[in-house]
Amino acid sequence: MGLLISGETGAALLIGPHVPSTSSPAVYKEVIHLSSFTLSQRRSPQSSPPPQQKNPTTRSPLRDTHPPQHLLHRVFKSNHRSSKWHLAAPTQSDKSKSLSIRRRKTSSQEKVSPKFLSTSMEISVTEVPPAFLWYKRGSDKPVTRIQFSFRKEMDEGLSASGFTKINANIGTKTHPMYLWYISGSTGFDIPILDLTVTTSVEEEPELVRLGWERQGCDLQRDAGGDAVHVWVKRSEPSYNNGIVAIINFSNDASSFQDGFIRVDEDTNRGVNPPGSAVFLWCACSTDQSCVITDVDVSLNQDQEKELQAKGYEKGEKNLNDGTTGDRVYLWTKFSENSPAIQFFTVLVGDKALSVYKNANVCKVVEKNLNSGNNGVPLYVAYK
């Protein structure tokens, strides 16, 4: 099964443990290992592994620096000409060098460093096969939206609204995750021209600056480790015409059918005991006549009064619904004197907040969407 993405020479996306057949003239380019919990990696056809150095002068920036549960990935470049199929590759300098996390096997009698796994543990974390993110360019029926599911309840709305599911688990065995796509025809469907992947939050600000759109789901959300995100480049600039919060999943199908994009991050993430599933949804189009220009968040009634006095409109849903935390609301503003929002996402964790603030590529609302509870810190960022 493939994902077709419009482009100059054309595009389909395939996620799975197997790469396309080499019987055709297709040639393969960069590789990014997206699956979590694996100690080995399949190589792309006709490509060779990175050269091994016995005494390297510089160490890989990822080697021996993360705990074992982090995503294992290796990026390498094969010297081939053009291709019909492509692999979504990391940004920046990762394209030109080999990166990997090394681990050694030990016997049960050896003392195991926290940086390494024993042989038995290595076996236990290889249950999910490697997955590679492929896309193929084409001009027929361009893909316009990509979504992810990481809860069973998320599948029904996607399926009912016409999304195609790539039936390859890119999550873990206990927390499966799947990619879905659609070639939509609503006024909010804008063709996707290109894909890329980031494997750390430090890589993200540059893509924001260059006008890429971040997919909300962290492919590492249940595996631990650095955030991995898919990014898309559209055929035309898009502007945010509306943002709404939806509680649980009963309205998913109708929202997808209307052309909305779900930011695949639960604003109640990590709350214990769990609250309602709350997701933010965006409607984006090329129309600039009625667009959102500013976003803010309120955590108490005093902040609500301040935002109302500044002309913001309050969202209907409490982003902390079903929890004992503060009543958190998203506020939006429409103004003729400010540029329209073209980028909107939810940042996960204080590290992401710090990186985006220091990069100064967009506005960050420094109000935790999980305020007052024990959930993961979440923040809204927009441009």
- What are the tens digits of pLDDT across the range 156-196? 999 999 999 998 888 888 999 999 999 999 999 999 998 89
**250-255 contact pairs (CB < 8 A, 24+):** 251/157, 252/154, 252/156, 252/157, 252/158, 252/160, 252/161, 253/156, 253/157, 253/160, 253/161, 254/161, 255/157, 255/281
Looking at residue 1, what is its pLDDT? 32
Q: What's the CA dihedral at 157, 160, 164, 166 to 10 degrees?
A: 50
The pLDDT tens digits for 26-82 are: 322 232 322 222 222 344 433 333 333 344 333 333 223 332 222 223 222 222 233
- Residue 11, pLDDT > 50, answer no
Number of C-beta neighbours around residue 63 at 10 A? 14
Residues 308 and 315: their CA atoms lie apart, in Å, by 11
At residue 159, the 3 state secondary structure works out as: helix
The pLDDT tens digits for 200-219 are: 999 999 999 999 999 999 99
Say whether the peptide bond before residue 273 is cis (omega within 30 degrees of 0). Answer: yes
pTM of the predicted structure, to 2 decimals: 0.73
Number of C-beta neighbours around residue 85 at 10 A? 23
Residues in the chain: 383
Q: Which fold has domain 237-383?
A: Vitelline Membrane Outer Layer Protein I, subunit A (2.100.10)
Tell me the sheet residues that pair with 228.
none
Domain ranges of the chain: 237-383
